[in-house]
Amino acid sequence: MIRKILIVDDDHKIRSLLKTYLEKNQFEVLLAHDGASFTAEFERHRDDIGLCILDVMLPDTEGFALCQQLRRRSDVPVIMLTASADETDRIVGLELGADDYLGKPFNPRELLARIKAIGRRTGQDKPAPPRYYQFNGCTLDTLERRLIDAQGQAAPLTGMDFQLLKLLVEHPGEVIDRVRLAEATRGRDLGPLDRSLDVQISRLRQRLQDDGKSPALIKTVRGAGYVFATTVTPRHAL
């Protein structure tokens, strides 16, 4: 989600006001007072910046020029600010690639609403997926791509094992059909006589020490697919 915002405005009061307000709403704010300082800050933090707010009129350039520069090298969302009542400024800004436009003076709450709206449109407001999934004493670490069993030992997983288990633990209690499972693990549909998925399920059951004759974790739903039939607890940290 959007967390770090870079603001360029030559008005010290506006910069201070926005920094204070947005930080109260859990954003990290970087400030610049002209085009040169904006460019330097953007290059320094470009991998972390989720949104830029550009004032149109700056001492050494225009916000339009900065927007153009950004669009040549980044798809970071941009909100333009201007004191001009001329609708032409708004049209130019949007044509240059700005995502939104706000006239001065403005209510900080409106700016916050527009930031959140951009986050929803771009998907940046979605929470980060959990790293860990815990079930029956086991833990699947999706970053390290490994399974820790109930005894604290790492159980070996092939790439297909991991993709299959990840899909199952992300949807506990949900019947997942064979086509979806095959696409997730092999990137293709299964042929009518293809039993590779069943072999893979059997192998994963062994990894989980799930009795193949009477499985308690990965259950077969005849004619439908498979279901991960246990409680799963997602966690961002252990």
Domain with CATH 3.40.50.2300 in the chain: 4-122
Strand pairing category for 138-141 and 218-221: unpaired
pTM: 0.55
Tokens linked to 33: 């007072």
- Each residue's pLDDT, cut to its tens digit, for the chain (238 residues) gives 678 999 999 999 999 999 999 999 989 999 999 999 999 999 999 888 999 999 999 999 999 999 999 988 888 999 999 887 667 777 887 888 899 989 999 999 999 999 999 988 877 666 668 899 999 999 999 988 899 998 899 987 888 899 999 999 999 999 999 888 888 776 555 555 557 788 889 999 998 989 878 899 999 999 899 999 999 999 988 8
CATH number of 4-122: 3.40.50.2300
Amino acid in position 20: T
Domain with CATH 1.10.10.10 in the chain: 132-235
Q: Give the C-alpha separation, 181 to 220, whole Å.
A: 13
- The answer, yes or no, to whether the previous bond of 105 is cis (omega within 30 of 0) is yes
Q: Return all residues near 160 (Cβ < 8 A) that are at least 6 apart.
A: 185, 186, 200
- CA-to-CA dists, residue 189 to 36, 165, 179, 199, 221, angstroms: 53, 18, 6, 15, 19
* Domain made up of 132-235: CATH architecture: Orthogonal Bundle (1.10)
Q: Give the C-alpha separation, 227 to 214, whole Å.
A: 14
pLDDT given at position 90? 73
Strand pairing category for 49-55 and 78-82: parallel
